[in-house]
Homo-oligomer: A and B are copies of this chain.
Amino acid sequence: MIERVTVVGAGLVGQGWAIAFARAGVPVTVHDVTDLDRIRENIARSVQGLAAEGLCEDPQGLLGRLSFEADLGKAVRDADYIQESVFERIETKRAISLEIDRAMRPDAIVGSSTSGFPGSSFTAECSHRNRFLVVHPVNPPHLIPLVEIVPAPWIDEDIPQTVRRFMEAIGQSPINLSREIDGFVLNRLQGALLDEAFALLGEGYATAEDIDKAVRDGLGFRWAFMGPFETIDLNAPEGLKDYAERLAPMYARFAEQRKPDRRWTAEAIETAHWQRRELLASESLRTRQEWRDRMLARMKAFKSQNKL
| Contact surface of A with B, Cβ cutoff 8 Å | 116, 138-139, 143-146, 148, 173, 175-179, 181-183, 185-197, 200-201, 204-206, 208-230, 232-235, 237-241, 244, 248, 250-255, 257-258, 260, 262-264, 269-270, 272-273, 275-277, 280, 282, 285, 288-289, 292, 295-296, 298-300, 302, 306, 308
Contact = CB atoms under 8 A, between A and B. Distances in A.
Contacts of A277: 239
Chain A interface, >50% SS class: helix
A162 to B, nearest CB: 17
Contacts of A235: 139
Nearest to A244: B269
Contacts of A143: 221
Given A177-B205, A211-B185, A233-B280, A138 B218 contact: yes
A33 to B, nearest CB: 21
Contacts of A300: 221
A221 B219 contact: no
Nearest to A194: B228
Contact of A197 (B146, B224, B229): B229
